[in-house]
Structure 1
């Protein structure tokens, strides 16, 4: 009986492999990889649902999926294609790579990758490298100007392709790093939202991997043997503030595994009444009413830490 069941399982796996996108034809068959794949799918689908990334029922959608050649963007494309294949993403996908004319950039890798796997794509070549290196003094970070130029070109390409959104591969750690960059260096509480509208108001910017951990993405990309292209433009610069933040977060996670997940969840549970932004909360008209009321209007439980501290301070009285 066990042998028969195993035979049926292998038959089902073979049928699924034959029917799946070409990108997954040579994917590992191990249980560990299958769990990883399902976890990334689940987390991406949850982010898509939580932030209403899909258009209303009956409305067609077309997404420009941006690939840099790094592990994150490859994984983004694979996850979206997997969801689409499973009937969970009713969206037309167009992969796009912006070749920024960096010296030594292997411009053949992504076109070959797309062609070999039958992926609809668009390659755009714009010499932003010369602009960035000309405008930014040696030793300074290129990221800000580079990203602005890149984003403008991608917006233009999305319009030309008739897309509703550009889709980026930023993950959980990217979002946390941006939060701490703004906290430490920008003096504000802000990060990368999973969904936003561009300044012109005609395109969405989506980040379906917002719930996905970088470690999982790295494992997935390695297992899928994606042809990774390093970014030599910004990757060659030492002492970047973001690199320091990344190192700090990695240290925290090593000391207390799971901490990054807790911090990421905190970004989705802000309490304006417990912050200092007068534009978000009406402190001026906040007056005693005889009971403690939370932001949502429900009775609020006293803070256990506050009660313990009060008891300690006044224990001798």
Structure 2
């Protein structure tokens, strides 16, 4: 059966990132963080497609961290994963976590990440796959530049705890717009509405800035991403 052209393009982009950073190896057990949104479910779909074509064997396990947010259809998500025969672990955030409307994005993300680390260790998964895409990486770079005064961002491949757990981001070369089209094309259901805190977030502001620049130069986002590998230190202070 011929693969859909858009799916082929995304699988190919993800495959290049996986190859460039040696993200997946023989007999890997990969914990895929799923939130119920289009990006994480698209990642799950793409990794399962890759299992069909690559000459190595690896295992995929979904993990949903239940933060207790009302805009996430947890039961619907779990039912969907069961329907496509994907094993899923439901985790709770660390003890001491309290859902608070005033909590910032960093605090929420960090507690979710701690839960993923715990599950990965318990489930003997050496790698955690996150669905961050090129837009996320570029936005994070600009956020750190504007608000922290440093040049840094998410890494496509990152070792944690002395290499005990590796974080991989197979969508590092894929744009958000491509994932949006893919989820629509494949009719991937969405079980999570956007977080209300995103409306006035700094990330939203940076996303709007990039969009404005892209109207002048459509390659602006890709150029920012490429610049991370083209640092001319001799022209820096």
CA-atom RMSD in angstroms:
2.2
Structure-1 residue corresponding to 2:38? 71
How far off its partner does 1:90 sit? 2.8
Structure-1 residue corresponding to 2:7? 37
Q: 2:151 aligned to 165, 189, 211, which one? A: 189
Separation of aligned partners in 1, 2:55 and 2:225: 25
The answer as to 2:114 corresponding to 1:176 is no
Structure-2 residue corresponding to 1:90? 57
Question: How do 1:258-297 and structure 2 match up within 5 A?
Answer: 258-276=219-237
- Where structure 1 has 5 or more consecutive residues not aligned to the other structure, the ranges are 1-12, 17-28, 277-317
The CA deviation string for residues 134-190 of structure 1, in whole angstroms up to 9 with x for no partner, is xx7x4xx52111111110100010111110111000000000000000000010000
Question: How do 1:38-187 and structure 2 match up within 5 A?
Answer: 38-55=8-25, 60-88=27-55, 90-103=57-70, 105-126=72-93, 131-133=98-100, 138=102, 142-187=104-149
Tell whether the 8 Å contact from 1:101 to 1:126 is kept in structure 2 after alignment.
no
TM-score (norm 2): 0.91
Tell whether the 8 Å contact from 1:128 to 1:146 is kept in structure 2 after alignment.
no
How far off its partner does 1:46 sit? 0.6
Structure-2 residue corresponding to 1:7? none
Tell whether the 8 Å contact from 2:31 to 2:128 is kept in structure 1 after alignment.
yes
TM-score (norm 1): 0.69
Separation of aligned partners in 2, 1:35 and 1:167: 24
3-state SS of paired residue (1:100) = coil
- Where structure 2 has 5 or more consecutive residues not aligned to the other structure, the ranges are none
User: Structure 1 residues 216, 104: closer, same or farther in 2, change over 3 A?
Assistant: closer
Tell whether the 8 Å contact from 1:181 to 1:242 is kept in structure 2 after alignment.
yes
Structure-1 residue corresponding to 2:201? 240
How far off its partner does 1:130 sit? 5.9
Separation of aligned partners in 1, 2:188 and 2:174: 18
3-state SS of paired residue (2:98) = helix
Separation of aligned partners in 2, 1:224 and 1:130: 36
Structure-1 residue corresponding to 2:177? 215
Separation of aligned partners in 2, 1:170 and 1:181: 15
Q: Answer with 1 or 2: which has the greater Rg.
A: 1
User: Structure 1 residues 88, 96: closer, same or farther in 2, change over 3 A?
Assistant: farther
Tell whether the 8 Å contact from 2:94 to 2:114 is kept in structure 1 after alignment.
no
How far off its partner does 1:223 sit? 1.5
Tell whether the 8 Å contact from 1:100 to 1:127 is kept in structure 2 after alignment.
no
User: Structure 1 residues 105, 263: closer, same or farther in 2, change over 3 A?
Assistant: closer
3-state SS of paired residue (1:92) = strand
